[in-house]
A and B are shown apart, each in its own frame.
Chain A
Amino acid sequence: MRGIISRVVGLLAAACASLVAGQAAFAQSQILSTDAKQAKPSLISELAAVAPGDTFFAALNLELEDTWHVYWQNPGDSGLPPTVKWKLPEGVTAGPFKWPAPEAIPLATLMNFGYEHELVLPMEIKVPASAKPGDKLTLTGAFDWLICQDVCIPERAEIALTLPVEAVARANDADSAAIAKSITTSAVPLSGGATVERTKDGFKVAAVDGDLADAAKTAASIRFFPLGPETVYNAPQQFRRGDAGVSVELKASDYAKPGDQDLPGIIVVSGADGALKSWDVPAKPGAAAAGVADASVKSTGGAAAGSGDPFTIAGFLLALGAGFVGGMVLNLMPCVLPVLAVKAAGLAVTAHNPKESRAHGLAYLGGILICFAALGGIVVALQAAGQFAGFGFQLQYPPVVAFFTLAIFALGLNLLGVFEVGGSLMGVGGNLADKGGSSGAFFSGVLAAFVGAPCIGPFMAGAAGWALQQNAAVIITMFLAIGLGLAAPFVALSFTPAIAKIIPRPGRWMATLRQVLAFPMFLTMLWLLWTLAGQTGADGVIVVLAGAITVGFGIWLATKWGGSVPGRVIAGAVIVAAFLIPSAATASIKAPAGGETLAAAAGAEPWSVERVAELRSEGRIIFVDFTARWCVTCQVNKQIAIDSQKARKAFEQNNVAFLVADWTNRDSVIASALAEHGRAGVPLYLVYPAAGGDPVVLPQVLTPGLVEKAVKDAAGTM
């Protein structure tokens, strides 16, 4: 009996001893006390066992509840960074936090810098050479951090990390991977230093580093995070880049001292895959180095204006040819149809007078070219200002949409015969487009350019996207080539006398045709109002409709009392006011939050770089629809192809994630994603295969079968 007991006791003791030994062989993290609720804290270590004289990283790991964040070393407008107080064994030292790259977290009118989801915050630990193998080192850290959502909660934890000392260090694979991942995002020194100059309303920081310049080229976003308060945290940042580095313009805050001063910070670049990299930018007063501002990179949250294929003459001619063909094809795109209606009416009138017909053709060409040249010039100017403008940018401004809506409405009234232009006082807006003479033809060209330019059709997409990354001359030439293509079919027709043979002699039928053609105008108006509804909500639409009523009233006044000078003046003033006031008013009306987005309407999720990365990591097939309300082609594709039973079934069967990137309003992140695929506008359709790799780009005109096949291909590559 005694023998058995002693054996059992002996076994138990041995088991206990081996347990203790087993524990001692690994790093142990123990929370001594904590009040943390929104964050789950732990203290992790690169090494499972340390050797005397070792230097290694330990890290505070906070797993955060969704929607909560903790702060970077400069927390921004509010908040506090985490702190630590160590209790360390004799001879052991701990370095400062090695901050991973932070995110910008906007909060109402304020801006915070910090971390969401998870923070791994490493510190370098030195083990003294005098440490003896077989000993254990216990590092005790008292960590404090502020965690905020909208409200803030201070949390704390006292955590002990116990490490065995052994002759040879042993790695802790899981923890060292997490720490390494954090450290790859922390700031590295610039190879060529950084300078800062004062500008009119702020600072221009130049950072010289070839890797940074390369990263900026393909970045999804790039941002300067200042260490001090001298800049306005939520102001836009204008980035430019060159081969040698990048430069950024920042707005000074009232905390900036007058004159030159240091402006330390870091530049964080988010790659197309969502990976973060950062550079330490200890900017000192001085002139910017050369080669840091050759090309525009977009503003805050912004990114490179695309991958920038090199310029070659052959490539240029090829792109111009594609632009010209693309412009011709635009005539077949739904967006230009209303203008074609006007042109058809015009052609019917002049077909039997070859001379007049030719003059009108040339005037129409002139209208298109001047308008396209102007649009090209504005794109160049916006790029020079560091903004990214693509095709259709004009319809991203509500006042332009509002003005255009009213012009189309007036044109519709004119076609309907509510008023005639010849000899009357009317001289504003779209009614000019139907004016008898060449000026009418000119303005129908302007109109065609305006509605046509937002459309990206086949052939044009690549050419326009390529041109926008070249210099000013190339951009404007490309715009002209597209305009020339757009005008070409009608100009050719107006120079073809044979056309008269198939068009009947002028007569009553023409008045009827004109009236019928008014209705495409009113449908166009509906499209523009729908666009405006997305930009400004119902308020903007009401304001513009009030303007339309006033336009109608002014026209009625003019037809009633247009004979007298005061009547003419009053009618003219009413009409001008009816155009300008609502257009100006829409500039300040914002769409109410929670209004229906294109994504919600499509039963899709809103697109973001992060969401794509997340879905890809889950191995899902992703269909991304880059769209805008003002893009008629996009709406047609959606109705006919994407919403078709065939496509929806393919989506369902293959568990496709459907993301919508809505470019109705200006959005630099979407613009940069378009540029990344060499595009200057919408539509753009991407299908990410389940197996990974580059996304497949679908054509600008979709069919149900095409979408179905793309999805099946994406699934089949598994």
Chain B
Amino acid sequence: MAFFNRDRMKLAAATGVAAVISVAALVVASANALPVGDSAPAFNEMSAQGKEVQLADFKGKTVVLEWTNDGCPFVQKHYNSKNMQNTQEAATKDGAVWITVISSKKGSQGYSDAARANKLTADRGAHPDYVLLDADGSMGRAYGAKTTPHMFVITPEGKIAYNGAIDSIQSNSVKDIPKATNYVTAALASLKAGKAPDPALTVPYGCSVKY
């Protein structure tokens, strides 16, 4: 009887702990944009290359996060025009780590397993260092990723330096790209020059992340 009860108590205690955790998770999920200057949330996600990738792996390096969904017209705008690939190439050549994140849940637009993600990278001629498969949306929610694309730049010290749109013109027209300021390129240049990016926080535009 006592043993039986201990089990019940464990269940009850576990329920309590689960309650606390899920409340915490809800709080995280409902948080709005991640403030610039805050520590970037840690993550540990499986990459399309089949390797677990953590933020801590990149200490001392500037990291760019790019939320993507290949079916989204706004993502297509920046890939069909090669704008995203060019930005990736310039950033990685300059020593930054580029991480593309796919947070579409299974069955929704943009969802990719490793094989599909790798094929997309090859077909698009993209240059990410890693493509992370975040189908449970945990990383996307931790960062408050709202749209595809949604961009983050993280300093070598692990602080958020830029959070927002890829560029300054909210549209899905390729024609606007040459007229727009690429905020990620600008933020990386500022960091390299030892300055804080300006703007550091913009409103991302695009399709909703398919959580």
Contact = CB atoms under 8 A, between A and B. Distances in A.
A337 to B, nearest CB: 31
B86 interface: no
A672 to B, nearest CB: 24
Contacts of B8: 546, 549-550, 553
Interface string A138-163: 00000010101011111000000000
A605 interface: no
B56 interface: no
Contacts of A148: 207-208
B186 interface: no
Instruction: With a 10 A CB-CB cut-off, give which of B26, B34, B73 has the most chain A CB atoms.
Output: B73
Interface stretch (B58-66, B88-96, B128-136, B168-176): B168-176
Instruction: With a 10 A CB-CB cut-off, give which of B8, B22, B23, B171 has the most chain A CB atoms.
Output: B8
B12 A80 contact: no
A588 B207 contact: no
A371 to B, nearest CB: 27
16 contacts: A78-B206, A80-B171, A110-B208, A146-B73, A148-B207, A150-B210, A153-B73, A232-B32, A254-B34, A254-B201, A543-B12, A550-B9, A581-B16, A584-B16, A584-B19, A588-B22
Given A80-B205, A150-B108, A232-B32, A585 B5 contact: no
Interface string A55-93: 000000000000000000000011110010000000000
A478 to B, nearest CB: 35
Interface in A220-250: 229, 232
A455 interface: no
A547 B170 contact: no
Contact of A108 (B4, B13, B72, B211): B211
A628 interface: no
Given A585-B18, A588-B23, A253 B171 contact: no
Given A153-B73, A574-B5, A550 B208 contact: no
Interface in A252-273: 253-255
A576 to B, nearest CB: 11
B193 interface: no
A232 B144 CA distance: 12
B88 to A, nearest CB: 23
A107 interface: yes
A259 to B, nearest CB: 16
A585 B16 contact: yes
A44 interface: no
A589 B19 CA distance: 8
A329 interface: no
B109 interface: yes
Interface string B18-52: 11001100100110111100000000000000000
Given A78-B205, A150-B109, 20 more contacts: A79-B208, A83-B171, A107-B208, A108-B211, A109-B29, A109-B30, A146-B73, A146-B172, A148-B207, A152-B72, A253-B33, A254-B33, A254-B201, A546-B15, A553-B8, A574-B5, A585-B12, A585-B19, A587-B19, A589-B19
A553 B5 contact: yes
A148 B9 CA distance: 48
Interface in B104-151: 108-109, 141, 146-147
A121 interface: no
Contacts of B22: 588
Interface string A666-696: 0000000000000000000000000000000
A79 B204 CA distance: 10
A574 B9 contact: yes
Interface in A564-615: 574, 577-578, 581-582, 584-585, 587-589
Contacts of B207: 78-79, 148, 151-152
Contacts of A585: 12, 15-16, 18-19
B71 to A, nearest CB: 6
Contacts of B13: 581
Nearest to B148: A78
Contacts of A79: 207-208
Interface size, B (range): 35 or more
A80 B206 CA distance: 8
B32 to A, nearest CB: 5
Interface in A199-233: 229, 232
Interface of A: 77-80, 83, 107-110, 112, 144, 146, 148, 150-154, 229, 232, 253-255, 543, 546-547, 549-550, 553, 556, 574, 577-578, 581-582, 584-585, 587-589
A665 B201 CA distance: 38
B66 to A, nearest CB: 16
B4 to A, nearest CB: 8
A72 to B, nearest CB: 14
Nearest to A153: B73
Contact of A550 (B12, B16, B171): B12
Instruction: With a 10 A CB-CB cut-off, give which of B16, B34, B208 has the most chain A CB atoms.
Output: B208
A255 B12 contact: no
B33 A255 contact: yes
A578 B30 CA distance: 31
Interface in B160-211: 170-173, 201, 203, 205-211
Contact of A588 (B19, B32, B74, B206): B19
Contact of A77 (B34, B146, B210): B146
A403 to B, nearest CB: 14
A210 to B, nearest CB: 35
A151 B71 CA distance: 8
Instruction: With a 10 A CB-CB cut-off, give which of A232, A254, A550, A582 has the most chain B CB atoms.
Output: A254
Given A77-B146, A553-B1, A546 B30 contact: no
B183 to A, nearest CB: 14
B55 interface: no
A452 to B, nearest CB: 30
B141 A151 contact: no
Contact of A78 (B23, B108, B147): B147
Contacts of B205: 78, 80
Contact of B26 (A153, A253, A556, A588): A588
Contacts of A553: 1, 4-5, 8
A588 B24 CA distance: 10
B176 to A, nearest CB: 11
A367 B5 CA distance: 34
Contacts of A546: 8, 11-12, 15
Contacts of B5: 550, 553, 574
Contacts of A83: 171
A306 B39 CA distance: 47
B201 A151 contact: no
Given A109-B30, A151-B71, A581 B12 contact: yes
Contact of A254 (B19, B35, B71, B173): B35
A664 to B, nearest CB: 21
A556 B4 CA distance: 13
Contacts of A587: 19, 23
Instruction: With a 10 A CB-CB cut-off, give which of B71, B141, B206 has the most chain A CB atoms.
Output: B206
Instruction: With a 10 A CB-CB cut-off, give which of A109, A110, A229, A553 has the most chain B CB atoms.
Output: A109
A582 B12 contact: yes
B60 to A, nearest CB: 27
Given A255-B201, A550-B8, A78 B146 contact: yes
A77 B208 contact: yes
A275 B1 CA distance: 64
Contacts of A574: 5, 9
Instruction: With a 10 A CB-CB cut-off, give which of A80, A146, A546, A574 has the most chain B CB atoms.
Output: A80
B101 to A, nearest CB: 16
Contacts of A108: 208, 211
Contacts of B74: 152
A629 to B, nearest CB: 22
